[in-house]
């Protein structure tokens, strides 16, 4: 059991003092009924509440999927484009929501975010070997030689050994799908350049078994990930 003011604070609605003011002001309802006692305790599991007319479900931790649009930076302090965090409610910023890894500002597609530090660390670890699937549009035609080179491995100037795709196939004259597990900096773009082509557009379509096309998210849309989704992120 947790008191209402602590519940609101944990969900990103401000300091204990600010949460108590919301409660005293009549802005909070629990289970469809007005809640005006800040020290009343509730079971948090499955708790539904309303703050200033907006419905919320208590979540101990946030696990989110976003279809990242173009020209958005995966940073709390962006340099040239809006932060990805501007796409979420202000309460999530107060909970220290962070991207799990990064996509370049001009790369679109599936991005995970969380306020669970252990989850972020685990998902970002190169030891997990979770495949990530990308689709790239190339400046020059996708040849059989290009696909073969990406599968065999290409040498990047700052890597001790060649990096190879787990899988790669042409999807059209200037499009290909490539599956990686390393997650190096600008890896797809640099591998294409090293293989003699150039990436003009890039989107991430899957992480492990979690596929963007099955989440039904338009660019800029996001959703909560439930246990069934999180299970799809396990290593193969």
Q: Tens of pLDDT along 134-161?
A: 999 999 999 999 999 999 998 888 878 8
Beta strands in 8-61 (DSSP E): 28-30, 33-34, 41-42, 48-51, 54-57
Catalytic residue among 55, 90, 96, 104: 104
pLDDT at 49: 96
Domains defined along the chain, listed by start: 2-57 (3.10.290.10), 63-126+210-231 (3.30.70.580), 131-207 (3.30.70.1560)
Beta strands in 33-181 (DSSP E): 33-34, 41-42, 48-51, 54-57, 63-68, 98-99, 107-114, 132-138, 167-172, 175-180
pLDDT at 114: 96
Residue ranges in the chain modelled with pLDDT below 70: 78, 235-236
5 is catalytic: no
Q: How far apart are the first and last CA of the chain?
A: 38
């Amino acid at each position: 059991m947790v008191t209402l003011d602590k519940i609101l604070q944990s969900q990103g609605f401000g300091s204990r003092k600010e949460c108590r003011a919301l409660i005293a002001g009549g802005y909070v309802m629990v289970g469809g009924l007005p809640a005006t006692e800040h020290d009343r305790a509730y079971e948090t599991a499955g708790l539904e509440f309303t703050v200033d007319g907006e419905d919320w479900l208590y979540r101990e931790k946030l696990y989110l999927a976003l279809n990242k649009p173009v020209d958005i930076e995966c940073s709390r302090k962006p340099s040239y484009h809006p932060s990805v965090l501007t796409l979420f409610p202000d309460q999530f910023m107060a909970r220290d929501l962070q991207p799990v890894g990064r996509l370049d500002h001009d790369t679109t597609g599936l991005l995970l975010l969380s306020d669970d530090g252990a989850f972020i660390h685990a998902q970002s670890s190169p030891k997990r070997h979770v495949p990530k699937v990308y689709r790239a549009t190339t400046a020059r035609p996708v040849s059989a030689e290009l696909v073969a080179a990406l599968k065999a491995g290409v040498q990047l100037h700052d890597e001790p050994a060649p990096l190879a795709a787990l899988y790669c196939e042409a999807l059209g004259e200037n499009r290909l799908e490539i599956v990686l597990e390393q997650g190096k900096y600008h890896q797809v773009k640099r591998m294409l350049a090293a293989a003699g082509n150039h990436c003009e557009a890039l989107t991430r379509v899957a992480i492990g078994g979690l596929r963007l096309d099955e989440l039904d998210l338009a660019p800029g849309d996001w959703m909560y990930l439930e246990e069934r989704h999180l299970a799809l992120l396990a290593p193969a």
